[in-house]
Amino acid sequence: MTTEPNPNANAKAAAAPQSNGKRKKALMTLGAVAVLAGIGWTAWYLLVSRFHEDTDDAYVQGNVVSIVPQTQGTVVSIDADDGMKVEAGQPLVHLDPNDAQVAYDQAVANLANTVRQVRGLYSAVDAGAADLAAREAQVARARADLKRREGLVGNGAVSAEELAHARNELAVLEAGLRASSGNLSRNRALVDATDVGTQPQVAAAASQLRQAYLNLQRTAIVAPVSGYVAKRQVQLGQRVQPGVNLMTIVPLEQLWIEANFKETQLAKMRIGQPVKVHADLYGGDVEYDGRVAALGMGTGSAFSLLPAQNASGNWIKIVQRVPVRIEVEPKQLAEHPLRLGLSMAVDVTVRDQAGPVLAAPRKDDKPLLTTAAYEKQLNDANALIDKVIRENLPGTRHG
């Protein structure tokens, strides 16, 4: 009995080597791709990635300037609202000025009256000096008369009674001389080494006028810096007290980024390293250039209201985050403005290790932030004081 060959078995036997060859080729290709990917990733890490630290736990921060009154009063006008651009020195809120105006008028009158009284002191000194000179002459004459009479008593030309009268007259004149000298010394003590403007009574009255003038000017609450108004809370008719927050001003050119990096990312981070920043507001189309300005002095939890206490032993280790301050180019901020609190993504290039970890001491004593919005008020007050004093000096004519 003969068996016929099975064509299916032959086909399977022929297909098996081909199938194994394809599988082997596919595995080799996959392995090659994996090796190339590994080589590529390694090269990318060694050449690029290990020199970068990035995070998207970053937010826009900035100076928030509170507008508070320096004197109490009732709000009679509001000149700025949310979103408005204001300049330094521009009035924002006006308080009722009537009470401050009355106090100011009283201070002006008090200074004028004090100047005239002090002028009287200077005149009293001159008159006292003249009176003292006259009394000294009288005493000298009385002494000479007494001495002459004492020489004539012995020969009877002058009676004892007349001599006694001469002595009494001299005593009276000497007493008047001492009183005149005392009055002159007292008046001189009030004006010595001074002029009318620097005399203590005038200086005290001038200080009162300066304060009254400043209180009057402070009924107009001005912007200390230029920026944009935010969080206006003040309302018309509101009675405000010093220190109450009426609104805030945000200078958008003074913004920075606060990026919260993991503590494991800070080993190679240095001040001055370049940073690339993207805002969720603009997406990837806008890129800001920045630099590391400062590394935080503690983690976020260390400065929290209730710091974590791990002394009990029941704790779970959590990677802490440290705030890093990043400054952005002002020109780019002007072209693409940011807002406080916006989410940002930052990428720090840590290749350059020359920068310090801690900021160096400042070499100058200039303030980091300052305002000249209130200088004009004080200068005007001093000019007003000089004017009132001049108008009440001798020879001044009032039209």
338 vs 61: CA distance, rounded Å? 10
Lowest model confidence (mean pLDDT) among 59-68, 129-138, 222-231: 129-138
Q: Is the pLDDT of residue 397 over 90?
A: no
Provide the pLDDT for residue 156: 65
CA distances for 369 relative to 196, 253, 254, 294, angstroms: 39, 13, 10, 17
Q: Is the pLDDT of residue 192 over 80?
A: no
Mean predicted confidence (pLDDT) in 168-185:
81
The sheet with strand 247-250 has its strands ordered as: 65-67, 247-250, 227-230, 85-86
Lowest model confidence (mean pLDDT) among 116-130, 212-226, 353-367, 383-397: 116-130
If asked whether residues 176 and 263 sit together in one domain, one would say: no
Contact 135, 177 (CB under 8 A): yes
- Report if residue 5 sits inside a domain: no
How many percent of the chain have pLDDT more than 90? Answer: 50
Per-residue pLDDT band for 181 (boundaries 50, 70, 90) equals confident
If asked whether residues 272 and 181 sit together in one domain, one would say: no
pLDDT (tens digit per residue) in 7-32: 555 555 555 566 677 777 888 888 88
If asked whether residues 110 and 181 sit together in one domain, one would say: yes
If asked whether residues 111 and 178 sit together in one domain, one would say: yes
Provide the pLDDT for residue 398: 47
Contact 176, 135 (CB under 8 A): yes
If asked whether residues 188 and 272 sit together in one domain, one would say: no
If asked whether residues 346 and 276 sit together in one domain, one would say: yes
If asked whether residues 354 and 264 sit together in one domain, one would say: yes
Q: How many domains is the chain built from? A: 2
- Report if residue 275 sits inside a domain: yes
Provide the pLDDT for residue 241: 94
Of the residues 160, 195, 230, the one at which a domain ends: 195
pLDDT (tens digit per residue) in 152-176: 766 766 677 776 777 788 788 888 8
Provide the pLDDT for residue 172: 86
Provide the pLDDT for residue 45: 67
Q: Is the pLDDT of residue 1 over 90?
A: no
- Compute the mean pLDDT over every residue in the chain, rounded to the nearest whole number: 85
Provide the pLDDT for residue 385: 94
Question: For residue 161, what are the domain limits?
Answer: 99-195
pLDDT: is 171 or 123 the higher one? Answer: 171
Q: Which long-range contacts (CB under 8 A, 24 or more apart) does 150-153 make?
A: none
If asked whether residues 259 and 350 sit together in one domain, one would say: yes
Both ends of the chain: CA-CA distance in Å? 153
Per-residue pLDDT band for 180 (boundaries 50, 70, 90) equals confident
- Report if residue 150 sits inside a domain: yes
CA distances for 328 relative to 62, 154, 221, 344, angstroms: 12, 110, 32, 12
Lowest model confidence (mean pLDDT) among 102-111, 229-238, 298-307: 298-307
- Report if residue 92 sits inside a domain: no
pLDDT: is 219 or 190 the higher one? Answer: 219
- Report if residue 272 sits inside a domain: yes
CATH number at residue 259: 2.40.30.170
Of the residues 173, 195, 217, the one at which a domain ends: 195
- Report if residue 246 sits inside a domain: no
pLDDT (tens digit per residue) in 214-248: 999 999 999 999 999 999 999 999 999 999 999 99
Residue 294 in tokens: 């400062």
Provide the pLDDT for residue 8: 59
If asked whether residues 273 and 349 sit together in one domain, one would say: yes
How many percent of the chain have pLDDT more than 70? Answer: 86
Lowest model confidence (mean pLDDT) among 61-65, 179-183, 331-335, 378-382: 179-183
In a 10 Å sphere around its CB, with 0-12 CB exposed, 13-18 middle and 19+ buried, how is residue 6 labelled? exposed
Mean predicted confidence (pLDDT) in 83-100:
95
Lowest model confidence (mean pLDDT) among 146-150, 270-274, 292-296, 321-325: 146-150
- Report if residue 331 sits inside a domain: yes
373 vs 226: CA distance, rounded Å? 10
Provide the pLDDT for residue 275: 96
If asked whether residues 260 and 348 sit together in one domain, one would say: yes
pLDDT: is 230 or 136 the higher one? Answer: 230
Calculate ∠ Cα 145-150-152, nearest 5°. Answer: 95
If asked whether residues 173 and 265 sit together in one domain, one would say: no
Q: Is the pLDDT of residue 399 over 90?
A: no
Residue 23 in tokens: 């599988």
Per-residue pLDDT band for 359 (boundaries 50, 70, 90) equals confident
Contact 166, 149 (CB under 8 A): yes
Return the closest-CA partner of residue 217 out of 386, 97, 105: 97
Q: Is the pLDDT of residue 195 over 50?
A: yes
- Report if residue 180 sits inside a domain: yes
Of the residues 195, 223, 242, the one at which a domain ends: 195
